[in-house]
A = this chain, B = another copy of it.
Amino acid sequence: MPRQVDHDARRTAIADAVLHTAADRGFREVTVRAVAARVGASTSLVTHYVSGRDELIGLAVRREVETQQARITVLTADRDPRAALRAVVEWAVQGPDPEAHRTWLAILVGAMSEPVIRAEVDVFNRWWDGLLRDLAEALDPRPADPALLVDTLDVLIDGLVLAGLEDAGGWTRRRRMRVVEGVLGALGL
């Protein structure tokens, strides 16, 4: 009987190695060689799964995007629009661990120079903006300007992620949540 190869586990290990490398040192340092070294495999094992560096990076970023989408989907299911919007904001601000925040920042920085990352981020952003817009439009009472509400929530989340990365020690959970409560309150959420 031939030895069973768990291809899914290998793909996961490869994607994890890409994301850890990117979080630590940026996507610029992600190469087939660096990823092979990180998973303790040959470069030809890596290229058995991906055609090259672009596909390697695209695969890993898509996996991270899909992981985040799945979490957000669970979080918003079976909640009224107001509670779902609050849950999304609170999750984005305090839910992911610092590693997830660093990974996401690496993806955003990488998207500025690597089209393969840009394409995945664009897919995520369209999905995210659609989700928030649908929730904003379903609010009762309906806000005067749902698009402006979504923009403001996006800025709030981005700002808290970046502030936390700048000074993770200073921006305690309590301090972040006071800003969240202040802005959500001012927005009528």
Contacts and interface: CB of A to CB of B under 8 A. Distances in A.
Contacts of A148: 178-179, 182
Number of copies: 2
Contact of A152 (B26, B165, B166, B179): B179
Nearest to A161: B162
Interface residues of A, number: 37
Contacts of A186: 183, 186-187
Interface stretch (A39-47, A65-73, A79-87, A104-112): A104-112
Which DSSP category, helix, strand, loop or mixed, fits chain A's interface? helix
Interface in A165-189: 165-167, 175, 178-179, 182-183, 186-187
Interface in A130-159: 148, 151-152, 154-159
B182 A121 contact: no
List 9 A-B pairs, minimum CB-CB distance, nearest first.
A159-B159, A186-B186, A155-B159, A158-B159, A158-B162, A162-B162, A158-B163, A151-B179, A152-B179
Interface of A: 24-26, 28-29, 102, 105, 108-109, 111-113, 121, 125, 148, 151-152, 154-163, 165-167, 175, 178-179, 182-183, 186-187
